[in-house]
Structure 1
Amino acid sequence: MSEETIRLDKWLWQARFFKSRSLAAGVVSAGKVRVDGTPVSKPARVVKPGCVLTFPQAEQVRVVRILACGTRRGPAPEAQALYEDMSPEPIARPGAPRYDKGGRPTGKDRRDMPSKGALPLE
C-alpha cells in the first residue's frame, strides 16, 4: 500500500483556499508557502496527510494541517474535511470613528463634539 500524495497547488485548490489552480500555483511560485516550516517555490511539490502548510490568504496568515488528499474539488463541507485549521486568531482592527446621529452633523453638533487637543473645562 503506497502512501497517498498530491501536488501542493492542486491540494490548495481542492481545499478551496484559492479560486483557481493557477492562483494557487502563483502563490507557491512566489515563495509565500511553507511546508513544515520550509519555504517552497515549486507548485509540483508533493504533500501528504500530516504536512503543515503556512501561507497568506487575503489579510491573514493561514496555518493548516493536511488530513486527507481528496479526489476532487467538491463542496465546501467536503473541502473543510481535508484539513485542520490551526490559524491564529485574526487581529481586530478598530474601524474609523463614526458620528452616532443620522446624517451630516450640524454646526451645533460639531461644537458639542470633544476636540482632540482641547483641555477639559473646570
Structure 2
Amino acid sequence: MEDGTGQTGQRIDRWLWCARFIKSRSLASGFVQTGRLRVNGERISKASRIVRPGDVLTFPLGPHIRVVKVLAPAARRGPAPEARALYEDMSPPARTQDGKPDGATPAARESGAGRPTKKDRRNIDAWTGGN
C-alpha cells in the first residue's frame, strides 16, 4: 500500500501475521485490539493502522517483551527465513527475576539412572509439595 508521500506501508495485523509473530490474521487483529501493542511508543488498538519501514513495535509475546524494527512490508506470508528479513529484533535478552538467563534447567539426575522409582517419585513429590 502506498500513501501520497510515496512511502510503502501495510496494515499492522497483516504485517504481524506475515512476519510470523502471530499464527492467524484474525488472532493478529484481536491482539492489536487489546491495546497491548505500541508503535513508536504510541499505544494503538486499531488493526487498520499502517506500519512503515523504520517503525518500532513493542509488544508482549509469551513471557517476553518483543521490540522489533520494521524493515519492509510483506508481500506474502512466506517461510521463516523470509519472515525474519522483514524485521530487526531489538528485544533485550530474556532474564528471570534472579538475573540469570531464562530457561528452565532440569533437575539433577545421574546419567543412565533411567526412570524414577516409586520411592524416588514419593521423595520428589514430598520435596516439591505435590500430592
Bucket of the pairwise TM-score, normalised by the shorter protein: 0.7 to 0.9
Bigger Cα displacement from structure 2, 95-104 vs 52-61 = 95-104
| Displacement of 1:57 | 1.1
Aligned to 1:7: 11
Give the share of equivalent positions with the same residue, in percent. Answer: 49
What's the TM-score once normalised by structure 2's chain length?
0.74
Number of the residue aligned with 2:42: 38
Contact 2:35 2:44 (C-alpha < 8 Å) held by counterparts: yes
Tell me, which stretches of 5 or more residues in structure 1 are unaligned?
116-122
* Residues 69 and 93 of structure 1: CA distance in aligned 2, closer, same or farther (over 3 Å): closer
Counting only pairs closer than 5 Å after superposition, residues 19-98 of structure 1 correspond to structure 2 as 19-91=23-95, 92-93=101-102, 95=104, 98=107
Moved over 6 A (4+): none
Matched to 1:82, the amino acid is L
1:71-122 CA-to-partner distances (Å, cap 9, x unmatched) read 1101111110000000111113474773524324869xx7xxxx9xxxxxxx
**Cα RMSD (Å):** 2.4
SS in 1 for 2:88: strand
Partners of 1:89 and 1:33 lie apart in 2 by 19
Shift, 1:2, TM fit: 1.3
Asked if the contact 1:15–1:73 (Cα under 8 Å) also holds between the matched residues in 2, the reply is: yes
> Which residue of structure 2 aligns with residue 100 of structure 1?
109
Is the contact made by 2:94 and 2:102 (CA closer than 8 Å) also made in structure 1?
no
- For this pair of structures, how many residues does the alignment match? 109
In 2 relative to 1, CA 93–70 (structure 1 residues): closer, same or farther, beyond 3 Å? closer
Q: 3-state DSSP class of the match of 2:32?
A: helix
